[in-house]
Amino acid sequence: MTTASRSTPSFAQLAVIRALVHQSPTSLTGLVERTGMNRSWLSQTIRVLVNQGYVSRTRSQIDARRVELSATAEGQALLSRTTPEQSR
């Protein structure tokens, strides 16, 4: 998979990755409910994070209509490098 040029993620993008690390896989609706973020903004942000390789989007094995979102190993590594505890 080719990833787009990676820029430094925003605080909000890191919050999305963090939510996916703690609750994966989940749907876009589940992510909206967990984070309280705007659905349209989240959809666009997920697209960017997928293109950058930080989030994966796959079809559910149980329900092909459902798309499951998960943090990738790269997303988890990014989050571990950017947590406040590690930057002190």
**Domains, in order of start, for the chain:** 11-79 (1.10.10.10)
Burial 17-54 (b: 16+ CB within 10 A, else e): bbbbeebbbbebebbbeebebeeeebeebbebbbebbb
- Whether the per-residue pLDDT at 86 is higher than 50: the answer is no
pTM confidence score:
0.82
What is the pLDDT at residue 2? 45
- Whether the per-residue pLDDT at 60 is higher than 70: the answer is yes
Write the DSSP assignment of 5-42 as a string of letters: PPPPPPHHHHHHHHHHHHS-SB-HHHHHHHH---HHHH
What is the pLDDT at residue 8? 80
What is the pLDDT at residue 29? 93
